[in-house]
Amino acid sequence: MAKKKVLLMGKAHSGKTSMRSIIFANYLARDTTRLSPTLDVEHHHVRFLGDLVLNLWDCGGQDAFYESYFERDRETIFRSVELLIYVFDIESESPEKDFDHFCGVLEAIEENSPDARIFVLVHKMDLVAEEDRQAIFEDRKRLIAESCVSCGVENFKCYPSSIWDESLYKAWSEIVTNLIPNIRLLETHLNNFCRMCDADEVVLFERATFLVISHAQYSSSEGGTAAIANFAAPGPPADGSASSPPTDAVDIPVSSMASSPMSPDSGAGVVEAPEIVSEAAEQATDRSPAAIEETPRHVGRTPHFDSHRFEKISNIVKQFKLSCGKAQSQFQGMEVRNSRFSAFIDAFTANTYIMVIVSNPHVHTAATLLNIQNARNHFERFIPRI
């Protein structure tokens, strides 16, 4: 089990506690108006991906506290910090003082935890008119960069955020994925899974927070396209009824993981390799090249999707989880479809949810569900347990 110390700092009333409560304690944005100011430092242990414990230090932002942070408690606060999250309130009445504190914090961090990763959030962006947001954010970011440079800090990341929209999730996803080792390996496996499912995209969410930890996208350059949906005749209607498998037999699991590129570490673990339904493989062995040519190719629509979609989905699902809570139940999984797509959001490994988006009408619901089912154990093995 790994503990990571995370400092959450910024002036009083900048929204630190609100953010923490929404992300880690399932608050609704509107409930945050009832929060009382943080006095001194509040410690919170939040679990992430099961075994990763974030030791959040929510540091009250009133001036008086800063004096003690910088003087008496300097070492206690700033020692062995893995991550600093500094919050700027865009509506601050005293931006100069905010920057003074910011520089003070940066210096103390450099001195006590030179390896700490630094994230700056420019918060309450909802209060800025939409058309000005980008410009005002860029401007603020430039000032922040100047401060960092003058304090000798080279690496930092800066995000706009607001509890009233999806930007909060975006910012925190970026922050938290930074703490996950081997994230690249996970991505590779997710990419393979995406291709095998003929999915437009696949997204992995952390279970408790619903922050995005990894995603994979359909990509024509990966060579998956040629084999996708080469039906000579239209497939069955994608009406989700698992009870009537089509005669094409696409539902029969064919390619086993062992021989697929998804095999994690060749050799070990092959025995329990799950089976993945791959329509592509089935078609390749089954049909003559001539038949393949005749059929219209299905093209994934990923490039056209909204760039904030993952955060929106996080938001949507978390809201719905809260609704379920109110009705004394818990959400387990869902399918949503219309004529253009099917989305599957399901509890996946012990610490994750998965979302699979399929727009190819020839991919049967039952096949996707089976694929998700079969991939569970496989992914369980290397979704980081830290």
Partner 1 sequence: PEVDFNDKKIGTLPKILLMGPRRSGKTSIQRVVFQKMSPHETLFRLEATQELERSVVDHTSLCRFTIWDFPGDYYALPDDLEATNNDTTNNAEETKRTIFQGSTSLLFVVDAQDEPYDHVLQSFTNAVTQALTVNPSICVEVFINKVDGELFLSDESKYDCRRDIMSQVTDELAEAGVSPDNLHIRYHLTSIYDHSIYEALSRVVQRLIPQLPTLENLLNVLVSTCSMEKAYLFDVVSKLYISTDSGPVDMQSVELCSDMIDVVLDVSGIYGLGPENPPPGEDQPAISNGEGERSGDKQLVVDPLLPSTLASQVQSDDIDDGIIHPDSAYDSESASVIRLSNGMVLYLKEVDTMLALVCITRSENFRKKSMINHNIGQIKKALHALV
Q: In what order do the strands lie in the sheet with 201-206?
A: 212-217, 201-206, 352-358, 341-347
Per the CB < 8 A criterion, the answer to whether 61 and 70 are in contact is: no
Cβ distance to partner 1 smaller for residue 134 or 244: 244
Among 5, 6, 17, 122, binds ligand GDP (CB under 6 A): 17
Cβ distance to partner 1 smaller for residue 64 or 242: 242
Q: How many CB atoms lie within 10 A of CB 319?
A: 14
H or E element: which one contains 63? helix 63-70
Cβ distance to partner 1 smaller for residue 256 or 319: 319
Among 168, 280, 357, 372, binds partner 1 (CB under 8 A): 357
Q: Does 3 bind partner 1 (CB under 8 A)?
A: no
Quick one: what does residue 123 bind among ligand GDP, partner 1, none, with the CB cut-off 5 to 8 Å set by partner type?
ligand GDP
Q: Does 219 bind partner 1 (CB under 8 A)?
A: no
CB of 127 to ligand GDP, least distance (A): 5
Binding to ligand GDP, residues 117-156 (CB under 6 A):
123-124, 126-127
CA neighbours closer than 13 Å in the CB half-sphere of residue 214: 26
Binding flags for partner 1, 183-212, as an x/- string (CB under 8 A): -----------------x------------
Binding to partner 1, residues 288-307 (CB under 8 A):
296-299, 301, 303-306
Per the CB < 8 A criterion, the answer to whether 251 and 365 are in contact is: no
**Cα-atom radius of gyration of the chain, to the nearest Å?**
24
Among 25, 28, 37, 75, binds ligand GDP (CB under 6 A): 37
144: nearest Cα among 105, 81, 88, 89? 88
Per the CB < 8 A criterion, the answer to whether 280 and 198 are in contact is: yes
Torsion of CA 41, 47, 48, 51, to 10 degrees: 130
Q: Which residues of this chain interact with partner 1, rule CB under 8 A?
A: 30, 200, 234, 236-244, 296-299, 301, 303-306, 309, 312-313, 316-317, 319-320, 323-324, 326-341, 343, 357, 359-361
